[in-house]
Amino acid sequence: MDDLYREVIIEHYKNPGYRGHLDPHNIFFADNNPLCGDHIEITIQINEDETVKDARFDGHGCAISQASADLLMEFIIGKPIEEVKQLNKQDILDMLGIDLGPVRLKCALLSLKVLKAGVYGLGEASDSLVE
């Protein structure tokens, strides 16, 4: 991993700006990555014009899973829900600024999977959401 990007991930892991829980919230979803033991849950508030008013994540796990969740929450605040629904694997990789092998990719994509299951109002999150 490139040192510069490693610093970005460690900084977001150690000092997340968007860790927390919004109450009340319009969207809540939680899921795990059993391969690594990562857990992510998100709460989102939606404006009347269908944009993201505020977003927070909580959870535990490896640096990549937690840093990608923090970057993702930061990214979606103010964005239209329709745009959030279109986010994919490459968007997360662009936020992290690194390429990841298949195991670490699951860590990086957990927060997006949780987010998309939440905004789509699904009962469960599947990997096909983040391809």
**Least distance from C-beta 33 to Zn ion, angstroms?**
6
- Say which amino acid occupies 106: K
CA distance 74 to 16: 10
* Closest distance to Zn ion from the beta carbon of 110 (Å): 7
Return residues touching Zn ion (CB under 5 A). 36, 38, 61-62, 65, 107
Q: What's 130's DSSP letter?
A: G
Q: 46 vs 52, 88, 121, CA distance in Å?
A: 5, 20, 13
Report the residue number, 10 or 86, with the smaller CB distance to Zn ion: 10
User: In terms of CB distance, is 16 or 61 closer to Zn ion?
Assistant: 61
Among residues 43 and 68, whose Cβ is nearest to Zn ion? Answer: 68
To Zn ion, the closest distance from the beta carbon of 38 in angstroms equals 4
- Minimum CB–partner distance for residue 106 and Zn ion (Å): 7
DSSP code of 23? S
- Closer residue to Zn ion, CB minimum distance, 61 or 118: 61
Angle subtended at Cα 62 by Cα 59 and Cα 79, rounded to the nearest 5 degrees: 55
With a CB cutoff of 8 Å and minimum separation 6, the contacts of 68 are 92, 95, 96, 107, 108, 109, 110, 111, 112
